[in-house]
Chains A and B, each alone.
Chain A
Amino acid sequence: MIRFNGIYYRYRPGAPPALDGAAFNIRRGSVHGLLGPNGAGKTTLISILAGLRPLQDGSITIDGEPLAVWRAARPNAIALVPQDYAFYPMLTVAENLDFFAGVQGIARKQRRHNCLEAMRFARLETVAQRRADELSGGLRRRLNLAIGLTGAPEILLLDEPTVGVDPQSRRFLLEAVRQFAAISRRTVLYTSHYMEEIETVCSDIAIVDSGKVLAQGPLSEVKGGQNLEQVFLQLTRDSAWE
């Protein structure tokens, strides 16, 4: 279980908090959706879990261990797949994968194995020798995802992974996420603006607004028999009024 407890984060002294006591749990082996309007605090939460921002207050534990301790023992266990195409356009697909595996300190033999696995998973074998800037939008998204898999992570953080892709590529990516989580104890934290994506791929969700978690739990419980979009709009509107 990944437990977020009373997470508080402020970008600058005096600024309103980006996270204001956020608390929720993620079951290991689940695909957990993080829903919220722009500026709700989703990216800040993901950044803290990825180690990009320090924890100012509150605690995060993974399987009972503090985040820092857990990560120190498993340096490559959390991977972030950002919304941007965060790779090198002048390198080929294979070179990009090899580079991102290399900077995680993975030795040559293991790196080769991991890269092949990631390439196979994202179905990039046929374009392995093509430069990244020659790929279509859908293939770039797949490369972005494949890079996240080069370290064979246990926890995958996906930040809006389907922005700007065609329906076929979106379907492929969603299927890939489900397959990834199907392997024992692999966990996905998935942020998206698309309700149908969340409903398709996630087993649990947390709805975040103004730095607070408004609802969390299994998707069916949060929905309570209603349409997810209705629930989301109702909760976030209430939050805005408050």
Chain B
Amino acid sequence: MLIRLAALWKKECLALARDRHGLAALFIMPTVFILVMSLALADSLSGQRNATLAYATLDLDGTPVSRALDEQLSATELLNRQVSPPSEDDARSQVETGRLAFVLIIPQGFARQIGANQTPTLRFLVDPAIPGMVRNGFRQHVEAIVIRVWLAHVLEHLGQSMMLPELHRVTGRVGAPDIVLESVTHGGSGGAPLALPSAVQQNVPAWLIFSMFFVVIPISAVFIGERQRGTLQRLRAQRVSFGLVLAGKFAPFVLVNQLQAVVMVAIGRWLVPLFGGEALTLPDGAGALAALWLLSLAVSAAAVGWALLIASLARSSEQATVLGGGGNILMGAIGGIMVPRFVMPVTMQPWTRLSPMDWALEGFHHVMLRQGNVMDILPAAFMLACFGLATLIAASLLNHRISRA
């Protein structure tokens, strides 16, 4: 039995080593994804670096109150204030060409409205390419500053009319509160505030999972070739059971998946920083590493099972590429690989649970972001293993039917 298995394993390894397209899908594609996405989303996900969201104000009021609004807005770390445009037409032109993301127009009479306790009307000129979430964030930020400006004005007015100079001093202290963000992690409460997960921390597990499922390309290429050339039939005539053929494919590709995990982690840790991104940090402790390894084994089981099912269903390599590649992209889209689950509408979020990639990502997040251990990832690992087993059984039944036809 071992001699037979060793022969099957060796053949799979040789076939994969000579399959340039398969290797590219397994190693180069996720490397590029991790590199590009980690750098592209560095500012959006980390919150630790200044963004370069360019904006300008057009102050048509020119009063101390409107200037106070402008100054407080320019103190915002996430925004990059540009020189005020000379006119609204010029402001519009700069937004239209994409040089400015926003222009805040403070209308004439703004200070008078504040003084009269009337609701002032501010106008934004917005680049339509700016996401709604960012637009709303900017709008709420401006609203908060206007309320602070208005409150300072009211307190100062009250101080003057009630002859209470303390109120005048209070107005100088009305500002944005300091807010400390703390990541809630496994056993991490009560400690020092932890850094929020960076883009590389989010992207390495996501694209690793995605690439692990891409074993469907090399597996189906070899398997369909075996079926079309009559090699599978020849193996059956040599009394090689289909279970043995499956085992012959399973172990080498699980090994390939583990190699992918090591390579992708290395890329996150050492290659991404070379391009200016943040380095991937792995959780400390043997428990966390054991959890990561167990989880990657479970992902392998699911990915290889899925690949064998696709290879059994497809009649040609082209079909397998469409079914397997398309299926992976769909699982990735639903499963929060391409669009994080928290960005999705609330009505769509429960649907992510249908994708094995979501189970895997949830497991990796438990360990890599929340400092979880083996117990935390067991449900995800169990579901992935069940998925792998179910797809293997389906592949076996399908092949049994095909071989009897």
Contact = CB atoms under 8 A, between A and B. Distances in A.
Do they bind each other? yes
Contacts of B166: none
A103 B4 contact: yes
Given A90-B14, A90-B19, A99 B7 contact: yes
A216 B236 CA distance: 29
B229 interface: yes
Contacts of B19: 90
Interface string B234-255: 1111111000000000000000
Interface in B216-241: 225, 229-231, 233-240
Of A78, A100, A108, A151, the most chain B CB neighbours within 10 A belong to A100
Interface stretch (A33-41, A80-88, A206-214): A80-88
Nearest to A106: B3
A91 B15 contact: yes
Of A50, A83, A105, the most chain B CB neighbours within 10 A belong to A105
B229 A86 contact: yes
Contact of A51 (B6, B11, B225, B237): B237
B15 A90 contact: yes
B405 interface: yes
Given A82-B230, A90-B15, A90-B18, A51 B236 contact: yes
Contacts of B239: 51, 75, 104
B338 to A, nearest CB: 33
A85 B231 CA distance: 8
A84 B229 contact: yes
Contact of B3 (A79, A80, A102): A102
A3 B285 CA distance: 68
Of A50, A86, A100, A151, the most chain B CB neighbours within 10 A belong to A86
Nearest to A82: B230
Nearest to A78: B237
Interface in B1-59: 1, 3-4, 6-8, 10-11, 14-15, 18-19
B230 A84 contact: yes
A98 B8 CA distance: 11
Nearest to B228: A84
A107 interface: yes
A194 interface: no
B14 A95 contact: yes
Interface string A30-57: 0000000000000000000011100000
Given A88-B15, A95-B14, A100 B238 contact: yes
A86 B233 contact: yes
B60 to A, nearest CB: 72
Nearest to B234: A86
Contact of A86 (B1, B6, B18, B230): B230
A103 B12 CA distance: 13
A11 interface: yes
A108 B3 CA distance: 8
Contacts of B18: 90
Given A11-B405, A86-B230, A95-B14, A103 B7 contact: yes
A162 interface: no
A15 to B, nearest CB: 11
Contacts of B6: 102
A76 interface: yes
Of A87, A103, A107, the most chain B CB neighbours within 10 A belong to A103
A82 B237 CA distance: 10
* Chain B interface mostly: helix
A106 B1 CA distance: 10
Given A84-B229, A86-B229, A99 B234 contact: no
Interface string A95-134: 1001111111111100000000000000000000000000
Contacts of A151: 238
A50 B405 CA distance: 16
A137 B233 CA distance: 21
A80 B237 contact: yes
Contacts of B14: 90-91, 95
B90 to A, nearest CB: 64
Nearest to B3: A105
B238 A107 contact: no
A71 B233 CA distance: 17
Nearest to A102: B7
A52 B240 CA distance: 11
Contact of B236 (A52, A76, A98, A106): A52
B11 A99 contact: yes
Contacts of B233: 52, 80, 82, 86
Given A86-B231, A95-B14, A103 B237 contact: no
Given A90-B14, A95-B14, A50 B230 contact: no
A99 B3 contact: no
A79 B7 contact: no
Interface string B367-405: 000000000000000000000000000000000000101
A107 to B, nearest CB: 6
B14 to A, nearest CB: 6
Given A84-B229, A90-B19, A107 B3 contact: yes
A178 to B, nearest CB: 23
A102 B240 CA distance: 11
A84 B7 CA distance: 22
6 contacts: A82-B234, A88-B225, A89-B225, A103-B4, A104-B238, A105-B3
Given A51-B236, A88-B225, A90-B14, 20 more contacts: A51-B237, A51-B239, A52-B237, A52-B403, A78-B237, A79-B237, A80-B233, A80-B237, A83-B230, A87-B231, A90-B15, A90-B18, A91-B11, A99-B10, A101-B7, A102-B6, A102-B7, A103-B240, A104-B238, A106-B3
Interface of A: 11, 50-52, 75-76, 78-80, 82-91, 95, 98-108, 147, 151
6 closest cross-chain pairs (CB), A and B: A102-B7, A84-B230, A80-B237, A86-B230, A86-B234, A50-B237
